[in-house]
Amino acid sequence: MELLANHVVLAEGDDEQSCRRQVIEFFEKTSLVRYDKIVVEDRAPMAADPVFKEELSAAVEQNRRTLQRFIEELGSTGFASRSDLERVAQGYHSKILHIIAHFLDGFIGIDSAFYNLVDDSHWLSEQTQSNIAEVPERFRLLFLKCYSLTPREAALLHM
């Protein structure tokens, strides 16, 4: 089995077990990515834990860097403005645009370092930030290692 992705997932719940259950159920139901095996690490820091903010910031920043890399890659194909949309070549170039759209619309993919299960997003909304500050005991970060026997198939959209 090959390690295909690592994800840091923000979940909200009454306790660690309910957060873990939400994350597993999400991956069982989503049609966006399929993994043959998901290992949820033992650590699941609560928002009150000092490491929470550091881990959350690092994961969100990794998403930003990944998104920026895809935007730069799309730019290297000659894409400069929205008027270029109709000329994006089908194939690799349109796939880059597709991945960028997923980062912006909140669809998880194998490139998602951080996923906010609360908001179905790659980012952290102001409302969720406020909620975390108000009731930190309800929010946890879960760290996933996701494996696949056939990495190409796992990466495909199953819609």
pLDDT tens digit sequence for 30-66? 988 889 999 999 999 999 999 999 999 999 999 999 9
Q: Residue for token digits 């198939």?
A: 153
CA dihedral 86, 90, 95, 96 (to 10 degrees): -50
What percent of the chain has a predicted confidence (pLDDT) above 90?
Answer: 76
pTM: 0.89
Please, which pLDDT band fits residue 152 given cuts at 50, 70 and 90? low
Please, which pLDDT band fits residue 72 given cuts at 50, 70 and 90? very high
pLDDT at residue 156 is higher than 60:
no
pLDDT at residue 95 is higher than 80:
yes
Instruction: Give the pairing type, strands 139-148 and 114-116.
Output: unpaired
Please, which pLDDT band fits residue 79 given cuts at 50, 70 and 90? confident
* DSSP assigned state of 14: S
- What is the distance between the alpha carbons of residues 72 and 69, in angstroms, rounded to a whole number? 5
Q: What is the CA radius of gyration of the chain?
A: 17
- What is the distance between the alpha carbons of residues 84 and 17, in angstroms, rounded to a whole number? 47
- What is the distance between the alpha carbons of residues 121 and 148, in angstroms, rounded to a whole number? 23
Structural domain containing residue 142:
2-155
Instruction: Give the model's pLDDT for residue 154.
Output: 46
Instruction: Give the model's pLDDT for residue 155.
Output: 47
- What is the distance between the alpha carbons of residues 135 and 159, in angstroms, rounded to a whole number? 36
If one counts the domains in the chain, the total is 1
